[in-house]
Amino acid sequence: MNKSTYGLGLWLALAMPAAEAASQEIRALFQPDPSQPSKNVFINQTPNSGYCEAAPSECADNRMFSIQFPIRFESTRTLQPGDAVTVKAPANWRQLTVTNAETQESETVEIRIIGIGSTFVLSDTAANLVGVSDPLEGHQKLWTGSSWVYAPAPCIYSGVGFFTPNYYRFFWKTPVETACTKIAAFTIPSMYFNNLDFAYELRTPNPLGMSSGLYTGSLAYSIGNGGDFDLGPLMAPDDGSLNLDFVLDVQHTLKVDLPPGGNKVLLEPEGGWMRWVDNGRPPTRIFRDQLFYISASSRFKVMILCDSTGGTRCKLRSPRGNVTEVETYLTLPAGIDGPMGRTVSQLKLLYNTWVGPFQPGFYVDRKAGSLRFEMPRDAIDFLLRPGFTDTLSGNITVIWDSDV
């Protein structure tokens, strides 16, 4: 019996765009996990930077990931009392297509930005700008609604607020794609935001139905007034776009193991030949069930190779020239469906013709199935002729192959 293990990779990666655009690589990986066979999801492999690097427990609890880009937003003029600084992120789900370069199959990935932050730097200390001595009081009075740790609606407080006398680091959650506005309460001669820090959430396709290879695709965001990432008309970015390129890497498993001695199969009547000898009643069935153990995380197909003229029958021969035939039936463990979503029980296999596909509903890890080798009625009648004695044998190779 031939058995094979096949790998299927799903990666998410960001390709290098044009020189003027910021870019970031994101990676996600699927590998079947024997300890969690029902967990058919991609694991984000992209290292966190920015918010989730500073607050890892907050991000882990909410399944968030973050990236920080060195994009600077500079004030275009002096901010006067009543001037607004708006913060908007592309919080709605956006889709992109990733394509397998080898098979040309495509899948859809979705991403949304669920938080945004930065560190703004003032031209003077906040305390000096508002005429107090305490740095915290300065930051609280400089803006209506207190300091930037407090997110204006519809943004949501995230608990992040670090400051020195002249800078403030903040991060807000963005449940909707609507601008959140802070109003200056005092004159600010100039200020800048020294980075773009955002958290994101991914929706990836079901890896169990994907083909092997790398799936790549990219998504571009605009930056600046009226763009996807927007800090309002008073803040000009030094980069106008941001590109995310995705590579999806799926690593599937297909493995079939036989117990020791399982490659030699002896056909006999139910209960053994002695039952026939003892009671004189000819057997109605001659067969053998052979156990195997299968591990599979993606769809696969099966066929047999043997001495055959086609169809479901394989020939057994003897040195005397006698010939009989046997058929092979496949039973798969629960969790693997056959064509039309049906349970696979005693399904006849075909000579030199693929049968399937068979689709795991979850990662099946070393579960038991069986192969039944059984003689058709006419082959049994051939063996049971009066006076016939002989030993017939043959080879049947069962081939399992990933169908992705």
Q: Do both 126 and 188 map to the same domain? A: yes
Q: Do both 76 and 210 map to the same domain? A: yes
Q: Do both 302 and 376 map to the same domain? A: yes
Q: Do both 367 and 234 map to the same domain? A: no
Q: 144 lies in a domain?
A: yes
Q: 122 lies in a domain?
A: yes
Number of domains into which the chain is organized: 2
DSSP state of 328: E
Among the three residues 198, 232, 250, which one is the final residue of a domain in this structure?
250
Element (H, E) at 59: helix 56-61
Band of residue 236 on the pLDDT scale cut at 50, 70, 90: very high
pLDDT averaged over the chain?
88
Give the separation between CA 98 and CA 116, rounded to whole angstroms: 26
Distance of CA 164 to the CA centre of its chain: 42
Identity of residue 38: S
Q: Which domain holds residue 187?
A: 22-250
State the pLDDT at residue 261: 87
Q: Do both 149 and 288 map to the same domain? A: no
Question: Tens digits of per-residue pLDDT, 177-214?
Answer: 999 999 999 999 999 999 999 999 999 998 888 877 78
Q: 3 lies in a domain?
A: no
Band of residue 280 on the pLDDT scale cut at 50, 70, 90: low
Q: What is the CATH number of the domain that holds 396?
A: 2.60.40
Length of the chain: 404
Among the three residues 193, 221, 250, which one is the final residue of a domain in this structure?
250
Give the separation between CA 321 and CA 319, rounded to whole angstroms: 5
Q: Do both 392 and 355 map to the same domain? A: yes
Evaluate if residue 19 carries a pLDDT over 50.
no
Question: Do 351 and 279 meet the contact criterion of CB atoms below 8 Å apart?
Answer: no
Give the separation between CA 2 and CA 6, rounded to whole angstroms: 13
Q: Which range among 9-13, 391-395, 399-403 shows the weakest confidence by mean pLDDT?
A: 9-13
Evaluate if residue 373 carries a pLDDT over 70.
yes
Evaluate if residue 2 carries a pLDDT over 60.
no
Band of residue 20 on the pLDDT scale cut at 50, 70, 90: low
Q: 5 lies in a domain?
A: no
Among the three residues 250, 274, 299, which one is the final residue of a domain in this structure?
250
Band of residue 277 on the pLDDT scale cut at 50, 70, 90: low
Q: Do both 215 and 69 map to the same domain? A: yes
State the pLDDT at residue 278: 62
Q: Do both 123 and 204 map to the same domain? A: yes
Q: Do both 294 and 240 map to the same domain? A: no
Q: Do both 136 and 281 map to the same domain? A: no
- Rounded to an integer, the average pLDDT of 4-15 is 30
> Which two tokens mark 157?
């407080």
